[in-house]
Amino acid sequence: MNIGIIGSQGFIGKHLVEVLKDEKNLKLSYCDLPNCNLLNPDSLKNFVKNKELIIHLAAVNRGTDTEVIAGTVVATYNLISAMEKYKSQAKLIFLSSIQAEIETTYGLSKKLAEIMLEDLSRRTKVPVTIFRTTNVFGEYCRPFYNSVVATFCHQIANGKKLTVKNSGRKINFIYVKDLVKIIAKEVFSKRKKLFYFKRIAPNNRISVLELAKLIKSFKILKNSNRLKLKFYKNLYKTYLSYINL
């Protein structure tokens, strides 16, 4: 199977490639800057050509409104246009965000991309799967960007001061390797429905204050078996990845 991955150099993309690269009968190709630019439709011709599956993970969630909209809406529009222009019937997996349920620029851009892709599936009979996922955390996520877990782990692991705001607000999380398993399973799924939508939000809810206290405790933790929840153990593995970085 010829698979194209958009955003393979991103946080989730790198974890997904690690899972798929050793699978037999899979040929992976990538769309990443600077060689493949979703904002330049001409660079997508070779990427969409002869693909049986395209996994769209790329997005911009920080920057000006124009940059955020371009990074999701314009990029997705250009991908759709390229697929139609070159008559691609590749199955498409799109990673959306639970932010699509919130009226922010990023959330609205994700919601619009979902609508565009559902329309593509209805019009052209291209199989489309959309995963709307909650906050993703895991090893090597970029701190001070879009993950409070990454920021807290980086700060505590490197002896930095940790300041907690909005301490009572609870956030729901998913571990990146669990998310990647779901995506990888969908790669081999043979669904009869052309359009499939799933909201992915496991019940890993914790307040920002509780999260900070938990990650601070990892600094003196001697045995991870003392952590009762799988969620806490995954947080600890994430913390370890930031030591001495």
The pLDDT-based confidence of 53 (bands split at 50, 70, 90) is very high
The confidence score (pLDDT) of residue 177 equals: 97
Residue 144 included in any domain: yes
- Count of structural domains, the chain: 1
Q: Is the pLDDT of residue 51 over 70?
A: yes
Residue 116: which of 69, 182, 152 has the closest Cα? 69
Q: Do 204 and 108 form a contact (C-beta atoms < 8 A)?
A: no
Q: Is the predicted pLDDT of residue 146 greater than 90, yes or no?
A: no
- Determine the angle formed by the axes of helices 208-217 and 230-240, rounding to 10 degrees: 60
3-class state of residue 77 by DSSP: helix
Query: Taking residues 173-183, what's their average pLDDT?
Result: 98
In a domain, 234, yes or no: yes
Q: Which of 79, 18, 91 is nearest to 52 (CA)?
A: 91
Q: What is the pLDDT of residue 161?
A: 85
Taking the CB of residue 123, how many other CB atoms lie within 10 A of it? Answer: 10
CATH label of the domain that carries residue 49: 3.40.50.720
Q: For strand 205-207 and strand 170-175, is the pairing parallel, antiparallel, or unpaired? A: antiparallel
- The Cα–Cα gap between 20 and 240 comes to 24
pLDDT-derived band at 73 (thresholds 50, 70, 90) equals very high
pLDDT over threshold 80, residue 129: yes
Distance in angstroms (rounded) separating the CA atoms of residues 11 and 176: 9
Looking at every residue in the chain, the average pLDDT score rounds to 93
Residue 227 forms part of a structural domain: yes
Question: Contact 47/36 with Cβ under 8 angstroms?
Answer: yes
Q: Is residue 236 part of a domain?
A: yes
Q: What range defines the domain where residue 220 resides?
A: 2-240
* Beta partners for residue 129, in sequence order: 93, 196
pLDDT band of 245, cuts 50, 70, 90: low
Q: Is residue 131 part of a domain?
A: yes
154 lies in some domain: yes
What are the beta bridge partners of residue 206? Answer: 171
Q: What is the mean pLDDT of residues 116-123?
A: 97
Whole-number pLDDT of residue 99 = 94
Q: Is residue 119 part of a domain?
A: yes
Residue 176: CA count within 13 A, CB half-sphere: 23
Higher pLDDT, 52 or 190: 52
Going by C-alpha positions, the residue among 175, 148, 160 that lies closest to residue 232 is: 175
**Rg for the chain (alpha carbons), in Å?**
19
Judge whether 245 lies within some domain.
no
Closest of 80, 93, 94 to residue 124, by C-alpha: 80
Per-residue pLDDT tens digits for 185-243: 999 998 889 999 999 999 999 999 999 999 999 999 988 888 989 999 999 999 999 98
pLDDT band at 28 (very low <50, low <70, confident <90, very high): very high
- The whole-angstrom distance between residue 3's C-alpha and the CA centroid of its chain comes to 17
